[in-house]
Structure formats: C-alpha cells, structure tokens
Amino acid sequence: MSNWNNAVTNFSKTPLLDTIRTPEDLRKLKVEKIRQVADELRQETIDTVSVTGGHFGAGLGVVELTTALHYVFDTPRDRIIWDVGHQAYPHKILTGRRDRIRTLRTAGGLSGFTKRSESEYDPFGAAHSSTSISAGLGMAVARDLSGGKNNVIAVIGDGSMSAGMAYEAMNNAGAMNSRLIVILNDNDMSIAPPVGAMSAYLSRMYSGKTYRGLRDAAKQLGKHLPKLIADRAERVEEYSRGFMVNGGTLFEELGFYYVGPIDGHNLDHLLPVLQNVRDMETGPILVHVVTQKGKGYGPAEAAADKYHAVVKFDVATGTQSKSKPNAPAYQNVFGQSLVKEAEKDEKIVAITAAMPSGTGVDIFNKAFPKRTFDVGIAEQHAVTFAAGLATEGYKPFCAIYSTFLQRGYDQIVHDVAIQNLPVRFAIDRAGLVGADGATHAGSFDNAYLGCLPNMVIMAASDEAELVHMVATQVAINDQPSALRYPRGEGRGVEMPDVGVPLEIGKGRIIRQGKQIALFSFGTRLAECEKAADELAAHGLQATIADARFMKPLDVELLLKLAREHEILLTIEEGSIGGFGSHVMNTLAEHGMLDGGLRMRSMVLPDTFQDHDTPAAMYAQAGLDAKGIVKKVFETLGKDFAAETVKLA
C-alpha cells in the first residue's frame, strides 16, 4: 500500500475510498462494497467543494453513475467522455487526483473541467456542451479502423441535448452503426416519469443477451417475410418497446438501441444494465439514466438551482461565504438597464442560450416574461431566431457569453451581418474570467466580430458606461451591434438614472497629458488610470482616451492622439486582430506610421492561459497597470527595473 494510503487515520470519514487510488483499485472490490464507495465519494465531493468552490450540483448527481462506470468499464482503456466536464469532480477523485482535488480552479491546480493534459482518464477536454457524442464517435471509428475492442462511453446531460450538435452526432452515429455507448443523464428536463422496479426489470431485459438474441433472430426471419409484413413487425417491436420504456422511440429512429429509463442512484439497477451494455457487440446504444442534481446534500436538493455553481460554503448549513460586493455586477447592470429601456419600448425582447442568470436576462424575465426567450444550449438558433424577430420590427437583445457566441458565428455572418439586421448582441464574460480558465475566456470576439461589415462594436469601460451603451443599442435600428462587458463587479462609479444614447463612433478623453497616449477599449481603462498615476511619479504625463467604439473607430480622436504624442499604446481585453489591429490599420492608411510615432498594441498573449484569479491572469498577460508602465518604458528605450529603483 502506498504512503498516500498509509497516511490515512482511523478517524477518516471515507475509510473505503481511502484505499482507492485509481479505478483499478475500485474494480478489485466486491460488488456489495460499491454502495459504500459511492456514499464516501459523495462526502468527499461535498467536503472538497466546500473548500474550493466550483460546480457542485451536477457532480453530486452523478456520484453513483461515476462509481458504476469506473467499476464496470476498464478505464482508461475504455474511454469515458464527460460532456461539459463540470460534473467530473467525483471522476477526478477516483482517477488518481484525490490528493490534488482541493487545488481545483486555483493557480497551478486541477481544472474545473476535463483536460487531456491532466490525466489519461480524461480522453477529451470539454467545458462547452454537446461535444461528447461527436468526439466519442470519432474515437469509436478510430478504434474500428485500428482493429481495437475497447468501449467508448459519452455521458451527456439532458440540457446538453438541447443543442443541435448532439443530434447531428447521433444521426451520424446511427447511420454508421459503430459501437458507441451514450449515457443520457436526465437530471432536469424530466423527460421520463419516476422510475422503479418494473422499469429496471425491462431495462435489464432489453439490454440482456437473451432478448437481443431473440430480436436479432426475428430480424433474420423478417428478411424471409414479405417486406410489408416485415416492416410492420419491426415497427410494432420498436414502438411497443419505446412506449413501455417511456420515450425511447426518438432515439431508436436515430439508429440507437435504447435502454431505460433507469434510476441513476440505484446501483442494483445501474450496475447490471451497464454490464449488459458493456458486453454488447453492436451499437450504437443509448442508456437513459435519471438522476437528481444536488443528490445527497440537503441544501443543494432544496435550492432552486441545486447549487449548480457555488463559492466556498459551510458544510453543516450550506451557507455560502460570498463577500459583500462593493459595486453591482456587470450582468445585473445590463439586466436592469434593459428593463428600464423595455418599459419605454414594447418592441424590446431578450434572448439567452441557457444562461439567464449569468447574463442578467433573469432580471428582464421577471419584469417581462412574455418578452424573454431562453432557447436552451443552442447559440446558433438563438442568433438566427433573433434575426427573424428583427425582420419583423422587434428589437432583440441576444445576451450570450463571448466564449459561447463563438458557436453561432456563421449565423452572425450569414443571417445577421449580410442582411444588416439590427440584432443587438450583449456579450457577457468579455476578457479573462479567472477560475473557469481558457475554455470560458472571452478572448476573441473583438477579432471575430471586428472583421464583419455593418457591425457596430462597443465596450463599456465601467458600469455607468454600460447603462448608456444599452440605450445606444436600443437606438441603433439600421444595423447589428455588439456590446461587450466583463464578468464580475463594476468600479463603484456613480450610476446614471437613465441611459443616454452615445454618438456612434465617438470616444472621449479622460485625462490630458503629453508625450504618451494610452488608448483604451473596455474596462482596462481603470488600469490605464493607475498606470498614468505611476508614470506621473516618474515625471511622465500621459493622456488617457476611452475609445468606447472599436467599430466605427473614432478616427478624428485617434489622429489627434497620434499627432500630439510620441508614444501611442492601445490596451484591450482581447486577442490580436481586435482593437489594436484596427487602430494600427487606420494609422497606416493615414500615413501616421511613416514618421516618428512609436505605436504599440497591448493584447492578450498568443496562448491559452490556465485558470487563476482574473487579476493574476491579467498580470501574467501584462495588461495591468504595472504591465502598461513597463511597456511605456520599453517603448521609450528605458529599463523598467532601473526606473523603478530610481523612483524608490
């Protein structure tokens, strides 16, 4: 036994789990011990997230399923792909990462999602939904081409099944007939009635060799019957089985062999079905498992959101240790501003793709439920749905995270921009997002929207500007527009009572200086002000300008900055190809780079940054006040460290 296991004391709340380092250890246990493992795994998950925070309810809901999958299947040889991956904390505990589990979502620690570079038990990285079936099918076909025999299992939640990509993958899988196992984790939509002994019995029967042998024999017999009779017999079998097992016909029509629904918390039901499915020689197969988010932890079960995502909390009471905000969150400012605008304009409607609270659309929904549309995890549909509303004179606000809006890019181009429809994109989580890491960072929207004709692009520098920019979007009726703002709290500035539309394409001077100009797009403006204060201590007076608009760019303001300053820096919370690139191109076209102007563009680094606090990530990117000052000194040809020592 390893030193890791020997270190366990007799007072452990998880004595059996303490003996399990990897699933291989789990598979050595007798089946009657698996219930205890699951109970202890749930306790360890609760204790862990109480310390780390993170996604919680979904992980509690799949404790038994996670345990059963690793007990029945030969992981990592058999591949388990967790759709989204936010429910994989129990999986990580069982797969050699328990000793690091309390580093979740911290600098240098474990990812809050599955990650290939982290473990061989994570065959596919995920944090966006609905990718598991496509990835699993790719692995299954690769196995077939290589002559392999391992299993491939995709675990997908019912919420993820609202995305079209899942059905595209199932349609392809059904046609290819490759052996792929899909586990539908039904924990929210209630697409199945309560499951019990009869359902469990039928599921075991349908997944067993005897029934499948008889079914195959009947199919062989059907080949010798007249086609009309054979077709009808097959339909009777499929539809009657689909009726008895509550809704499997849809999946049968897509080419899957359907098993379920079964109770995902009852190991006596779950284990034999998974064993039968494991031993099937044909596919694809869909196993419908019904679970409960937050299962086994009272406060989570009682909460409306089942503690989907939490900060640190007290295990005994479930009380979350949220710090008191000093300023309103940007998404709440957006939601409240939109409500005020909608009170004056009945044509305003709000659309979100399964993120009502994350985007502030939940605030709008309380005020205008009939004018609010949550389309599920379907960003492509959300964009074109908004375009359809716009054609009929409505004013749709399509509120989607930057990282998720990437999924609707063709629709933005083809259905909105080309037709010049006034869809208003409210882009939440613009810039770096901290603990969720690279998968959720809003790094690319400046670049991927900035290249589109007809698009107005704004970025709020603080929460008051956000109020005015919402009003500006309401007033833009002849072309699409995008408004980006970050995750988290604002600056605590004085808030306007009502939003006032801004002049399109006009920025503003915040502070007048000389020699150095800091041209900011977005909430890095606060860091520019700190940087200007530090530069002033070195005897350098910097001008600060807030661009407000990336497109159309305030060319008059830009040329003034270029003419009157020796150094011009652009600062943005986005990748290369965004605001700085537009500024550079404009300066080049006006011949402003032909002389002595020293221009630099400060953008996110050309890498996918690992999770950390937002402040630490921006410091790593060089986009904090210290990084701005350092860039100024570099551009002046001075040594930053030496200049800092001089000041000290």
Task: Name the residues annotated as catalytic.
Answer: 293, 379, 407
Q: How many residues does the structure list for the chain?
A: 648
Measured at the CA of 532, the angle between CA 529 and CA 535, to 5 degrees, comes to 155
**Which tokens in the block code for residue 526?**
């606060």
In angstroms, the CA 147 to CA 131 distance is 24
Strand partners, 259: 287
C-beta of residue 242 within 8 angstroms of C-beta of residue 260: no
C-beta of residue 547 within 8 angstroms of C-beta of residue 555: no
**Which tokens in the block code for residue 137?**
């099918």
β-pairing, 481-484 with 508-511? unpaired
In angstroms, the CA 265 to CA 276 distance is 18
Helix (H, G, I), strand (E, B) or coil at 400: strand
In angstroms, the CA 356 to CA 588 distance is 42
In angstroms, the CA 254 to CA 273 distance is 21
Helix (H, G, I), strand (E, B) or coil at 490: coil
End-to-end CA distance of the chain: 56
Tell me, what DSSP letter sits at residue 352?
Answer: E
Q: Which residue has tokens 């990650």?
A: 115
In angstroms, the CA 109 to CA 463 distance is 32
C-beta of residue 306 within 8 angstroms of C-beta of residue 87: no
In angstroms, the CA 510 to CA 533 distance is 13
Q: Which residues contact 145 (CB under 8 A, 6 or more apart)?
A: none
